Amino acid sequence: MVVRVPDVPDVANRDEPCGASSGGPLHRYAHVADPGSRRRPRFATAPEAHHEPKPLLILLGMTTVLDRLRAGETGFSVEFFPPRDDEEERILWRAVRELEPLDPAFVSVTYGAGGSSRERTVRTTGRIARETTLTPMAHLTAVDHSVAELRNVVGSYAAAGVRNVLAVRGDPPGDPTGPWLPHPAGLTYASELVDLVRGLGDFCVGVAAFPHGHPRSSDPETDADHLVRKIEAGAGFAIAQLFLEPEYFLRLRDRMAARGCDAPLLPGVMPITTPRVLSKFGELAGVEIPPSVADRLRPLADDPAAFRAAGVELVTGWCERLIAEGVPALHFYSLNRSKATREVVTSLGLDRRPAAQVGA
Ligand SMILES: Cc1cc2nc3c(=O)[nH]c(=O)nc-3n(C[C@H](O)[C@H](O)[C@H](O)COP(=O)(O)OP(=O)(O)OC[C@H]3O[C@@H](n4cnc5c(N)ncnc54)[C@H](O)[C@@H]3O)c2cc1C
């Protein structure tokens, strides 16, 4: 079924989300700032929340992320966040429709801390499942959820036709660097969430990985032990947080291999289109911008076109190296925009359908 998406103003083709240039949020989980974030999500009130675990959900016939990653050729995937209003919804759907002809291996939708944002994740992944040819994956976190609530959310995903789940622990709402406080009837680590989701049905589950080490980890080796534990709990693949320079990603892959783990590890990629994206890049990766990157891009900070061209070229070079190293797919953090992702994907020849074209 093909759905026509109405044209949206030029803003849709910018590289950053609304408000970014004026100091608005430019965080992948910006929707955690939902005003209702401390309220119990609506899933909690569903009657099933108090019942015994659902029987196994059988989700036959739907393509899994692993099916796509095992297809052979290097592919790409795209991450979105759930739109907060009608305008964001139109912008997201424009990006979805522009990326669809390039045949991404899958697209994912992040999971926020607030009830309404969480419902929007279910709704958006469900709509992608119903109305596009794309393989959707929904993120899920353990933040502020009891196990019964988590079961309900997973049930909602299954009912919406979503078979792929990225199981991440999440961060404390309000202060992501603050101490982790598990829900009294909830979970503490992502490995437990993997175990839960796998136990609820025939889900394909992925997990998060951190090339520079998770900010709360004592050292990269211990962090790699925890990553491999998530795979052993039943995850089929991992997606990496942003990193500065491919070596960090490749070292993490080596640490996994040294532990006998060959699960697909996808690099997280974000085209560096503005100085603001660059500084957020370092923040998300959890490291200082290295001189090799800063020296190349910072002198161009007052020339937006030159900065964008150099930033996209730099990231494209990293991607070429990663493809040569045999990564199964590149995972693009799109911020709900498609233009820069399409540019990089087509210049790397990762678009699978001949009709794919990069628009203006
Ligand atoms: C690709 C990707 C997608 C993401 N999507 C979202 C999203 O949609 N919504 C959102 O809110 N956040 C998201 N995040 C952020 C993520 O929730 C945070 O980075 C969070 O702090 C860590 O999540 P995790 O799943 O890696 O947790 P865990 O694997 O549980 O790790 C958390 C910390 O505990 C340590 N640890 C793990 N297991 C053990 C153990 N058994 N014993 C002791 N220590 C242990 C780890 O080393 C780490 O320091 C995403 C991150 C990535 C990379």
Residue 141 Cβ < 6 Å to ligand 1: yes
What per-residue confidence (pLDDT) applies to 285?
85
Give 59's pLDDT tier (boundaries 50, 70, 90): low
pLDDT of residue 256: 98
In a domain? residue 65: yes
pLDDT at 309 over 90: yes
Could you tell me if residue 41 is inside a domain? yes
Mean pLDDT of 216-226: 95
Give pLDDT tens digits for 322-348: 999 999 999 999 999 999 999 999 999
Can you say whether the dihedral through the CA atoms of 234, 237, 243, 249 is positive or negative? positive
Which residue's CA is the closest to the ligand 1 atom numbered 11? 170
Q: Is the CB of 27 under 6 A from ligand 1?
A: no
315 assigned to some structural domain: no
Give CA 350 to chain center in angstroms.
19
Looking at residue 148, its pLDDT comes to 98
Angle subtended by helix axes 304-324 and 339-348, to nearest 10: 40
- How many residues make up the chain in this entry? 360
Q: What is the DSSP letter of 61?
A: T
| Three-state DSSP state, 342 | helix
Distance separating alpha carbons of residues 37 and 46, to the nearest angstrom: 18
29 lines ligand 1 (CB under 6 A): yes
Output the domain CATH number for residue 220: 3.20.20.220
**Cα distances (angstroms) measured from residue 249 to each of 38, 192, 331, 341:** 35, 25, 13, 20
Mean pLDDT of 101-111: 97
pLDDT of 39 strictly over 70:
no
Asked whether the predicted pLDDT for residue 46 surpasses 70, the reply is no
pLDDT over 60 at 2, yes or no = no
Place 18 in a pLDDT band, splitting at 50, 70 and 90: very low
**Chain position carrying tokens 């979105």:** 80
Give the Cβ contact number of residue 229 at 10 Å. Answer: 17
Average pLDDT of the segment spanning 196-201: 97
Q: Which domain holds residue 122?
A: 37-271+329-348
Per DSSP, the residues of 139-196 read EEE-TT--HHHHHHHHHHHHHTT--EEEEE----SS-TTS-----TTS-SSHHHHHHH
343 within 8 A of 272, measured Cβ to Cβ: no
Confidence of residue 62 (pLDDT cuts 50, 70, 90): confident
- Confidence at 16, pLDDT banded by 50, 70, 90: low
| 155 and 48 Cβ atoms separated by less than 8 Å | yes
Are 308 and 217 in contact by the 8 Å Cβ rule? The answer is no
Distance of CA 148 to the CA centre of its chain: 24
pLDDT at 56: 53
Query: With a 6 A CB cut-off, is 239 part of the ligand 1 pocket?
Result: yes
- pLDDT for residue 260 is more than 60: yes
pLDDT level of residue 178 (50, 70, 90 thresholds): confident
DSSP state of 57: B
| % of the chain surpassing 70 pLDDT | 81
pLDDT on residue 37:
38
pLDDT at site 259: 98
Residue 169 lies in a domain: yes
Nearest to 167 by CA among 105, 233, 250, 123: 233
Question: Is 57 part of a structural domain of the chain?
Answer: yes
Establish if 284 belongs to a structural domain. Answer: no
Q: Averaged over 276-285, what is the pLDDT?
A: 88
Q: Which amino acid is at 106?
A: F
Three-state SS at 197: helix
Interval 66-95 mean pLDDT: 95
Inform me whether the pLDDT recorded for 126 exceeds 80. Answer: yes
Quote the pLDDT of residue 227: 98
The rounded distance, in Å, linking the Cα atoms of 300 and 306 is: 6
- Active-site hit among 79, 98, 100, 192: 79
**Which residue's CA is minimally distant from atom 2 of ligand 1?**
208
Tell me, yes or no, whether 27 lies in a domain. no
Instruction: Name the residue of 145, 214, 221, 259 whose CB sits within 8 Å of the most ligand 1 atoms, as the mutation to test its pocket.
Output: 214
Range in 71-75, 246-250, 253-257 the model is least confident about: 71-75
Instruction: Provide the mean pLDDT of the chain.
Output: 85
Q: Residue 25: is its pLDDT beyond 50?
A: no
Reported as a pLDDT band with limits 50, 70 and 90, residue 36 is: very low
Split into its structural domains, the chain has a count of 1
* 324 domain-assigned: no
Q: Is the separation of the CB atoms in 183 and 80 below 8 Å?
A: no
Buried b (16+ CB within 10 A) or exposed e, 19-47: ebeeeebbbbbbbbbbeebeeebebbebe
Burial (Cβ within 10 Å: 0-12, 13-18, ≥19) of residue 355:
exposed
**pLDDT number for residue 61:** 62
User: Under 8 Å CB-to-CB from 206, ≥6 apart: which residues?
Assistant: 65, 137, 164, 165, 166, 167, 235, 236, 237, 238, 239
Q: Is 79 a catalytic residue?
A: yes
Cα angle 280, 177, 281; round to 5: 15
